[in-house]
């Protein structure tokens, strides 16, 4: 988690999330199958990189908390394109850990009926738990989409970016 205090501050930092109150300071996370999340409060902005390990580690909760510390008030969220359950076969041991933490919303099923992780559902559950009611989820699977990089589907070395900025 990094707090960006001016444009360019923390550029290239390795972190699961970034938050700012500075208009004009663009925040960015890069992903290929993990979920990029934008959080917008009253004069506060955050971006989150949420994979399954991060979900279990509470990155979503931590980011919402960091936003609240900078500016209390309701937070809206957008979950960007990530790998969907139909393409994300998942080990049952890890899946049960996620279900225990976040609820049945994370349990999915692949196209051929194997246990799968609904990553976007897990992010939505974590957001709801953290008090974020308004959440938009883009309905695009990075593994199926020709327009997105997918690590699991094509072992892509490239990433897409979510970029967000408070307008001055």
Catalog residues that contact Zn ion under the rule CB under 5 A.
84, 87, 141, 143-144
Shortest Cβ distance from residue 25 to Zn ion (Å)?
34
CB of 139 to Zn ion, least distance (A): 11
20 vs 150 by CB, closer to Zn ion = 150
Least gap, CB of 111 to Zn ion (angstroms): 8
Of 20 and 142, CB closest to Zn ion: 142
The least distance separating Zn ion from the CB of residue 114, rounded to whole angstroms, comes to: 14
Residue positions counted in the chain: 168
The DSSP element (H or E) to which 76 belongs, if any, is strand 76-79
The residue (of 22 and 87) whose beta carbon lies closer to Zn ion is 87
**Cβ 165 to Zn ion, closest distance in Å?**
29
Say how many C-beta atoms besides its own lie within 10 A of residue 120's C-beta: 27
At a CB cut-off of 8 Å and minimum separation 6, what does 168 contact?
A: 23, 24
Taking CA atoms, 30 is separated from 44, 125, 143, in Å, by: 20, 22, 16
In the complex with Zn ion, the residue whose CB is nearer, 64 or 141, is 141
Complex with Zn ion: residue 16 or 88, whichever CB lies closer: 88
Tokens found for residue 111: 């196209």
Which residues are bridge partners to 3 per DSSP?
19
Contact between residue 88 and residue 110 where contact means Cβ atoms under 8 Å apart:
yes
């Amino acid at each position: 988690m990094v707090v960006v205090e001016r444009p360019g501050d923390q550029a290239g930092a390795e972190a699961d999330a970034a938050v700012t109150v500075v208009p004009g300071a663009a925040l960015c996370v890069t992903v290929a199958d993990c979920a990029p999340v934008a959080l917008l409060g009253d004069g506060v902005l955050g971006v989150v990189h949420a994979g399954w390990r991060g979900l279990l580690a509470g990155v979503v909760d931590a980011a919402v908390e960091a936003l609240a510390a900078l500016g209390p008030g309701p937070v809206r969220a957008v979950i960007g394109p990530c790998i969907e359950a139909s393409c994300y076969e998942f080990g049952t041991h890890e899946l049960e850990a996620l279900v225990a933490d976040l609820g049945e919303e994370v349990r999915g099923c692949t196209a051929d009926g194997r246990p799968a992780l609904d990553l976007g559902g897990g992010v939505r559950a974590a957001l709801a738990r953290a008090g974020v009611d308004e959440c938009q989820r883009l309905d695009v699977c990075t593994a199926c989409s020709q327009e997105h990089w997918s690590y699991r589907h094509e072992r892509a070395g490239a990433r897409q970016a979510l970029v967000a900025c408070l307008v001055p």
